[in-house]
Amino acid sequence: MKEYKNILTEIKGRVGIVTLNRPKSYNALNYQLLSELMDSLTSFDKDKSIGAMVITGNEKTFAAGADIIDMVDASPDDMKKSPFIPAFDLIRRIKKPIIAAVSGYCLGGGCELAMSCDLIISSESAVFGQPEINLGIIPGAGGTQRLTRAVGKVIAMEMILNNRTLSAEEAYSFNLINKIYPVEDYLKHTISLAQEIAERAPLAVQAAKEIINQSFDVSLTEGLQNERESFFNLFSSQDQKEGMNAFLDKRDPSWKGD
């Protein structure tokens, strides 16, 4: 497996795990870290032995946002030319499901990274926030859009305009995250969930992820049409025949990903 400087990678069963690893700067996201993250996710995506991925940090911090040191002297043109923000877009091209396992600070670009994942599992200590207003800027990696779609306008306004942070309980009650576990075992539970998903029919899992994520971009009519096409297409897969025959034969299916 490739050696990276700012992340650690590991494979457990059918799950590819990426750990953000700049603990001294609270996993502040610089371009090097993001490009390593995207490189590792892309190789996991290509690897047929992997069915799902987990992105995590450490118990104290998932990530405290974009690296402020890299941005302090930047002009609008510098920011436009920088590959930093586009690096966040690459995550949208990943076909397999990604789960964020969040503990401690999940702020700014860190919260935007978690929200770019497909599910978010949190420890009891997690704190979610978009504190960019304190720096005289707004979120630039999707925060105004993804947060609003997740928690609704009124809470997003409070968080982005006035640096309201959410505890794990609040984040759960506002539909930002899927589940909360104690700090000691949030990661273990996230990996088990990823493993469960990774063992399901791969083409159907990827089709479902794609169509659900597309629903934020398209009209209901277009989304229903996309869903229908994807549903019909799955009937050309061996896994559809296997899944339905296994049900009728009262046995467990054996998925091939074809």
Which residues are known to be catalytic? 66, 109, 112, 132
Q: Which is nearer to ligand CAA, 28 or 159 (CB)?
A: 28
Per DSSP, the three-state class of 124 is coil
In the complex, what is the shortest distance from the CB of residue 59 to ligand CAA, in angstroms, rounded to a whole number? Answer: 14
Q: How far apart are CA 256 and CA 239, in angstroms?
A: 6
Cα–Cα nearest to 124, from 139, 94, 154, 102:
102
User: What single letter denotes the amino acid at residue 191?
Assistant: I
Q: How far apart are CA 114 and CA 161, in angstroms?
A: 20
Distances (CA, A) of 233 to 38, 227, 237, 239: 29, 10, 8, 12
Cβ(29)–Cβ(62) below 8 Å: no
In the complex, what is the shortest distance from the CB of residue 114 to ligand CAA, in angstroms, rounded to a whole number? Answer: 12
In the complex, what is the shortest distance from the CB of residue 43 to ligand CAA, in angstroms, rounded to a whole number? Answer: 24
Other Cβ atoms less than 10 A from the Cβ of 134: the count is: 10
Tokens at 256, concatenated: 């091939």
Q: Which is nearer to ligand CAA, 170 or 199 (CB)?
A: 170
Q: How far apart are CA 230 and CA 239, in angstroms?
A: 14
Q: Which is nearer to ligand CAA, 56 or 237 (CB)?
A: 56
Q: Which is nearer to ligand CAA, 97 or 108 (CB)?
A: 108
In the complex, what is the shortest distance from the CB of residue 180 to ligand CAA, in angstroms, rounded to a whole number? Answer: 20
Contacts with ligand CAA, residue ranges (CB under 6 A): 25-26, 28, 64-69, 105, 107-109, 112, 131-132, 134-135, 139-141, 143
